[in-house]
Amino acid sequence: MEIHESAEDYLECILKLSKEKPVVRSIDIAVEMNYSKPSISVAMKNLRLNGLITVDKNGFITLTEEGRKIAENIYERHLLLTEWLVWLGVDQEIAAGDACRIEHDLSPESYEALKHHVLTEIKGKRED
């Protein structure tokens, strides 16, 4: 199944919120992403229909196993890319915004090479 960038952003947001809050609701996502409640409702319906989230009778949103895999992958990319850009001297806020744009389009091969570089070169030098 092909996942669009916006769906990845929603899944990543749900993952991050689930780490901060006991439950995630549509309004939490709307506030976090600064989107309208109707836009979030449509997006959550699409994610639910694609089997990436469940929504219980109280409106609490949970990632399915597949949704969690996608969210964790994109969140890992985001964190690593942000760290790399900050290491290069980019301001934290700018780095996070740029990482959000890059994380969706970077090929698996390029990401793995960059990840190897960050983990061996950058983090290795911090331990010296």
Cβ partners under 8 Å of residue 61, min gap 6: 14, 24, 25, 26, 29, 44, 53, 54, 55
**DSSP alpha helices (H): ranges in 1-128?**
5-20, 26-33, 37-49, 65-87, 92-105, 108-117, 123-127
Domains and CATH numbers, the chain: 5-69 (1.10.10.10), 74-127 (1.10.60)
Mean pLDDT value across residues 4-23: 94
pLDDT at 128 over 70: no
Three-state DSSP class for residue 58: coil
Q: What are phi and psi of 89, to 5 degrees?
A: 105, 5
Burial of 124 (0-12, 13-18, 19+ CB in 10 A): exposed
pLDDT in tens, 48-75: 999 999 999 999 999 999 999 999 999 9
Confidence of residue 113 (pLDDT cuts 50, 70, 90): very high
Confidence of residue 120 (pLDDT cuts 50, 70, 90): confident
Alpha-carbon span 114 to 105, nearest angstrom: 14
Please report the pLDDT score of residue 125 as a whole number.
63
- With a pLDDT cut of 90, the percent of the chain lying above it is 82
Mean pLDDT of the chain: 92
Mean pLDDT value across residues 26-40: 95
pLDDT at 2 over 70: no
Mean pLDDT value across residues 92-113: 93
